[in-house]
Amino acid sequence: MFVPKEGRQPGFALPLRLNRAAPPPLGPQFTLGERAPLSLILTHDAVAVTRGTSTESVVSFMLRMGLNTLPVVDGGGALLGTVSTHDLLAKASADVEAGEPDALSDELHGGGLSAVSVADAMTASTLALRDDASISHAVMAMTREGKSELPVKCERCQGYCIVSALELLSWLSRSRQEAR
């Protein structure tokens, strides 16, 4: 498990500072994502978890911060994959039989999910975009991979951020409106 430095939560590999400020205004040099880099729309500092982090901690953090996916890294910061709300629900429901309405809630709160680590629920993948990749490239990568969120290597903070399809759609919609 990652040993956190001062100011970090156990199991979380990077500082927990989130900045949900709106991206800067678009300029005429960026048209519909063809040349605009992903760094323009990354809305928060990088945060990641390690394989040994409890899923209970991850669920609590995701709910508190309104996140759907977190990068999973090793102790040196190398990307191992992601853990998403979908991964966590799939893990929680794996042992629950259909027709038991309270069983899933029991599994999520104090049942089997609290006893497992991120390693048991994560999706292993080292696919990550660079923050200087174009927004168009991110759209094509998401489409090709069938993903709605992808990790992005952030050069500014030397960690991984997550870019979502919703953020891309929002940026593309805004850029179209500003171009008119």
In a domain, 7, yes or no: no
φ and ψ of 164, to 5 deg: -110, 160
E strand or H helix at 166? helix 165-179
Q: Express each pLDDT in 145-176 by its tens digit.
A: 998 999 999 887 788 989 999 989 888 888 77
Which residue, among 133, 132, 130, 108, has the nearest Cα to 121 in the 3D structure?
A: 108
Q: Express each pLDDT in 8-45 by its tens digit.
A: 444 544 433 344 444 444 444 445 556 788 888 886 67
In a domain, 10, yes or no: no
In a domain, 105, yes or no: yes
In a domain, 27, yes or no: no
In a domain, 96, yes or no: yes
164: left (phi over 0), alpha (psi -120 to 50) or beta: beta
Token representation of residue 180: 């008119």
In a domain, 53, yes or no: yes
In a domain, 4, yes or no: no
Kindly list the strands in the beta sheet with 159-164, ordered across the sheet, starting from the edge strand earlier in the chain. 129-130, 149-154, 159-164
Asked if residues 40 and 140 have their Cβ atoms less than 8 Å apart, the reply is no
Q: Express each pLDDT in 50-91 by its tens digit.
A: 999 988 889 889 999 888 999 999 989 999 999 999 998 888
What is the number of structural domains in the chain? 1
CA distance 31 to 63: 35
In a domain, 17, yes or no: no
CATH code, domain with 130: 3.10.580.10
pTM of the full predicted structure?
Answer: 0.73
Query: Which pLDDT score, from 0 to 100, does residue 39 have?
Result: 87
Q: Express each pLDDT in 110-154 by its tens digit.
A: 555 666 889 989 999 888 999 999 998 999 999 999 989 999 998
Give residue 70's domain range: 38-179
